[in-house]
Amino acid sequence: MTLLHNPVIRGFAPDPSMVRVGDWYYVATSSFEWFPTIPLHRSPDLAHWEYAGHVEGAVPGDSLAGVPDSGGIWAPSLSWDGERFWVVYAIVRSVGTPYFDTDTYVSTATEAAGEWTAPRRIASHGFDPALFHDEGRLWLLNLQNDHRPGGRRFAGIVATELDRETLAPVGDTHLLLQHERLVEGPKLVRKDGWYHLVLAEGGTGFEHGVLVARSREITGPYELDSRPLLTSRDDPSLPLQKAGHGELVQLPDGSWVLSHLTARPLNTPNGPRCPLGRETAIQAVTWDAEGWPRLRHGGPHPSLEVDVSTRPRPEVGCAAAALPGPEDETAAPAHPGPQVQIGTPTPPRPQAQTGTPAHPGQEAQPGTPGQPHATIQTAVPAHPRPQTQPGTPSHPRPEDETAAPAQPHAAIDATAPTHPRPPTQPGTPIQPGPHTHPGTPPQPHTAVQPATPTHPQSSEQPALPRDPLGWPWSTLRAAPDPSWADTTARPGWIRLRGRHGPESWWAHSLLAQRITEHRAEAQVTVEARPTTFTQAAGLVLWYNTESYLALDLTWAEPEGEEQRGQQWQGGGRTVLSLVERDEGSTRQVAVVDIPTESAFTIGVTVEDGVARFWSLGAHGVRTPAGPELDVTRLSDDHGSKLRFTGAMAGIHAVDLVGAAFTADFTGFRLSCG
């Protein structure tokens, strides 16, 4: 038996779709407006997970430019037909409208980390599609959307048989089920002569759940179970909230598990918020005397710890990867832990790098094959920490008019005072090397050779090729391109060329990594010489274009002079500008003079729902860069609009006029836990 600790994939990893292939379990999760598209994780034992690649080319044209926040790829469904992986997904191009404007695509691959076929468009009834392989036949499941005035945006679950080769419809579309509550995310599993339809119920907020229906025929009629298989909606004391969107998977010994999404809220004066986003969890399942699936531990509530009948594998501590750069031996992580030099030889069997270590107090992050000359810092607390508790429901999915009334939730108080933590002492900033002035074209990017594929049923699989801008880095609406993110012009550094501002849906030069715990710290050394207020570069805590915190090097008028927009007359100064963006408003929180034009280290510490930005001065002394800021606004649960992603930490650059200003970054570190 193996003991797993939920969430097994921590931080922004929603809508998990899980499949078993030979000795490995694979999970695909939603990527929304982010690249890489459709991240894939794998595990040999359900407890320890590692990044296994992504569905490259999932977006035709490789661009989501113009797609709104929380649009893009929703709820991909992963399946295996005995020979190859299939993934089906919808690209949602309108959010908050009656139409959704979805395009549904199918892609296949013989290896999860291998080459995926060019996406082929199929019927697009709605979002959250799934494929079901049944005795050589292929079925498409989908949500039906009625956009008309007075129509239901969640108007039932439909199924269409597809030709396996052409993907053209075979016969009519069948209405499987309609329900008075919002249902979506259909998955099918066949057991003991029954087709079990597994549904996400109640919207993806605090009213979420998993409901099951069944039929003797794939096209129905379906009878609904009298109770949910999984939910946390009725118990505000549970540490795992928003539990829903599930998929049943059978283990080799015949036992069953349920993958599902969940969230870990913080309490705030404005209700519960989940800045980590929706995460991936797993529960053990049994079947009752009447043939319905039930959680093995009883009741519908998700459990933090679950025993599963897999062979335990050795654990590997892991954390987010750092920027390429010379290792700073004087830097100390916020929570002391082993450091792993990336670039060491890969062992014959890849070790799973994600999940929770052996006891509940230790929490790890999604792992990744490394980057040259970088350090991974494990973020392991010295003592077990209490689990975060939920809070009051916020936003269900759109048009969930039947959702139960909100209930008060008891939660960890994010506003409670805490004892100050000893500061992390970053090392001396790396001395700048030759610097190319703004406007210098980036150098060609070095290609990364793919690893030799191994058959998925083998437990011996190669590590993914190392890419300095690969996972855990993510980018908005397009993959990183050497024209704006270059790792070759200055070895050991990443050079970003500024483009659009941070509120753009088109071309924001941002590299970011998922924050996976409520305690986190990020820092980076940046060198830039802005000459106008339209140029900026720095460190960001990011949710979307309407919710972010940014500490940037930029230009300002001489002290005491009002903003006139006359930077071309010369003069002015380089400053650190701390900006808070919230839905409907942007404010400059602080402006701090920079004492030097050489490389400069800045950072942020996140704890108890508060972000504290700082700069590194002489002798490694941290100087606050402004007041404490509310980081819980970077969550699904804040604001008036639909929001489905999670908080990230990263680096960015802006040049609104010339699109030529460059900034160099090194030593990025993100530690969580």
* CATH code at position 534: 2.60.120.200
Asked if the model's pLDDT at residue 73 lies above 80, the reply is yes
What does the pLDDT read at residue 465? 58
Kindly state whether residue 385 falls inside one of the protein's structural domains.
Answer: no
Q: Specify the CATH number for the domain of residue 234.
A: 2.115.10.20
Residue pLDDT, tens place only, 529-572: 999 999 999 999 999 999 999 999 999 998 888 887 777 777 88
Kindly state whether residue 179 falls inside one of the protein's structural domains.
Answer: yes
For residue 567, the SS3 value is helix
Three-state helix/strand/coil letters over 541-555:
EEEECCEEEEEEEEE
Identify the weakest region by mean pLDDT among 38-47, 122-131, 152-161, 427-436.
Answer: 427-436
For 321-350, b where at least 16 C-beta lie within 10 A, e where not — what string? bbbbbebbeebbbbbebebbebeeeeeeeb
Q: If you average pLDDT over residues 151-168, what whole number do you get? A: 90
Nearest to 176 by CA among 152, 195, 192: 195
Q: If you average pLDDT over residues 375-385, what whole number do you get? A: 32
Q: If you average pLDDT over residues 249-263, what whole number do you get? A: 97
Kindly state whether residue 586 falls inside one of the protein's structural domains.
Answer: yes
Kindly state whether residue 622 falls inside one of the protein's structural domains.
Answer: yes
- Angle (CA) 408-412-414 rounded to 5° is 105
What does the pLDDT read at residue 444? 33
Identify the weakest region by mean pLDDT among 20-34, 126-140, 461-475.
Answer: 461-475
Q: Assign 451 a pLDDT band (cuts: 50, 70, 90).
A: very low
Kindly state whether residue 81 falls inside one of the protein's structural domains.
Answer: yes
Asked if the model's pLDDT at residue 315 lies above 70, the reply is no
Give CA–CA dist 299/310, Å, rounded: 23
What are the φ/ψ torsions at residue 581 (nearest 5 degrees)?
A: -105, 125
Residue pLDDT, tens place only, 317-362: 334 444 544 333 333 333 333 332 222 233 333 333 333 333 333 3
Kindly state whether residue 87 falls inside one of the protein's structural domains.
Answer: yes
Its pTM stands at: 0.80
Q: If you average pLDDT over residues 510-518, what whole number do you get? A: 98
Kindly state whether residue 667 falls inside one of the protein's structural domains.
Answer: yes
Q: Catalytic residue positions?
A: 15, 184
Domain end call among 284, 308, 332: 308
Identify the weakest region by mean pLDDT among 159-163, 231-235, 427-431.
Answer: 427-431
Asked if the model's pLDDT at residue 86 lies above 60, the reply is yes
What is the chain's alpha carbon radius of gyration, rounded to the nearest angstrom? 24
Kindly state whether residue 157 falls inside one of the protein's structural domains.
Answer: yes
Domain end call among 308, 325, 354: 308
| Selected residue with higher pLDDT from 271 and 43 | 43
| Selected residue with higher pLDDT from 425 and 284 | 284
What does the pLDDT read at residue 464? 55
Domain count, the chain: 2
- Identify the domain containing residue 493 by its residue range: 480-672
Domain end call among 308, 326, 353: 308
DSSP H/E element including 511: strand 509-514
Residue pLDDT, tens place only, 585-634: 999 999 999 876 789 999 999 999 999 999 998 788 999 999 999 999 99
What does the pLDDT read at residue 329? 33
Nearest to 423 by CA among 604, 553, 276, 593: 604
